[in-house]
Amino acid sequence: MEFTDLEKLIKTRRSIRAWQDKEVPEKLLMQAIELATWAPNAGNQQNWHFYIVQNKETIKALTDAVQASADRITSWPEAKKFGDAATTWKQKVGFFGTAPAIIAVTASQYQSIADRLLAARGESDPQARQTREWRNSADSRIQSVSSAIAYLLLILHQMGLGAVWMTGPMQAKGELEKILKVSSGKDLIALIPVGYPAEKPASKDHKPVEEVTEVIH
Ligand SMILES: Cc1cc2nc3c(=O)[nH]c(=O)nc-3n(C[C@H](O)[C@H](O)[C@H](O)COP(=O)(O)O)c2cc1C
């Protein structure tokens, strides 16, 4: 693969939020997930798990759970302070229910040897506490699964599919996990609605590399 091919793939991927009314072959989604699981991950724990949902009733149940949560939040008196923004958010929150497929992604809980050592040291040692906080702020469990999700979005794009990485629905995490029958020890971290795109969003502004990079001498 030429560098320019990779560059084109990366730069033409966009978050897709509107889909054609056309089913996605399950085999294609399995193939995409298989390839995504070659992503780098902490301690080679491969602590991800994927759920492919294509059943319309289950997709509706997921959407209803998120909508109910948004309805509850926007019914609070505090929502008045946010005016139209709260109403618009509530109206749009369930858009992912129009996708023909949803890939739900979980991150399994695990502890590295460093985590276990620090836990064993307990609360009394301030240095151990600080080290734990530093490690937690760079949560390798979530970073590992995120790396697979980033791969997955590119792979789906290469397949001619359109998807969007969504953490917003996690506001209804408890209900979503019940619907998907997520086993204990796993945390749902994202929903990825996917299908054949029915929109072609324009490319977005990007911060110049010089702005986001410092060369340390
Ligand atoms: C961690 C994460 C969470 C996101 N959550 C949502 C979401 O809940 N709803 C949504 O519509 N888009 C969500 N997005 C998509 C972003 O809005 C999108 O990636 C960003 O605006 C850049 O646009 P692009 O993907 O088209 O380049 C999320 C993206 C990431 C990486």
pLDDT reported for residue 142:
97
pLDDT reported for residue 180:
98
Binding pocket residue ranges, ligand 1, CB within 6 Å: 14-15, 17, 164-168, 204
How many CB atoms are closer than 10 A to CB 69?
A: 20
Beta strands in the chain (DSSP E): 48-53, 101-108, 162-163, 186-195
CA–centroid distance, residue 3 to ligand 1 (Å): 25
Global pTM value: 0.96
Nearest to 177 by CA among 164, 191, 165: 191
Length, in residues, of the chain: 217
Give the closest residue (by CA) to ligand 1 atom 9.
166
Low-confidence ranges of the chain (pLDDT < 70): none
On the CB side of 188, CA atoms within 13 Å amount to 26
Give the burial class of 105: count Cβ atoms within 10 A of its Cβ; 0-12 exposed, 13-18 middle, 19 or more buried.
buried
Q: Where are the domains of the chain?
A: 23-79+93-109+141-201
pLDDT reported for residue 58:
98
Q: Is the dihedral of CA 53, 58, 60, 64 positive or negative?
A: negative
Report the run of H or E that residue 187 belongs to, with start and end.
strand 186-195
Q: Which atom of ligand 1 is nearest to the CA of 153?
A: 25
Six-digit token string for 133: 């906080």
pLDDT reported for residue 204:
87
Instruction: Report pLDDT digits (tens) over 35-72.
Output: 999 999 999 999 999 999 999 999 999 999 999 999 99
Six-digit token string for 117: 């050592």
Give the closest residue (by CA) to ligand 1 atom 21.
15
Nearest to 192 by CA among 215, 161, 171, 213: 161
pLDDT reported for residue 110:
84
Distance of CA 76 to the CA centre of its chain: 27
Q: Which CATH class is domain 23-79+93-109+141-201?
A: alpha beta
pLDDT reported for residue 111:
85
- Supply φ then ψ for residue 115, to 5 degrees: -60, -45
CA–centroid distance, residue 146 to ligand 1 (Å): 12
Name the one residue in this structure whose structure tokens are 């502890």. 111
List the strands of the sheet with 162-163, edge to edge.
48-53, 101-108, 186-195, 162-163
pLDDT reported for residue 28:
98
CA–centroid distance, residue 14 to ligand 1 (Å): 9
How many Å apart are CA 198 and CA 204, to the nearest integer? Answer: 18
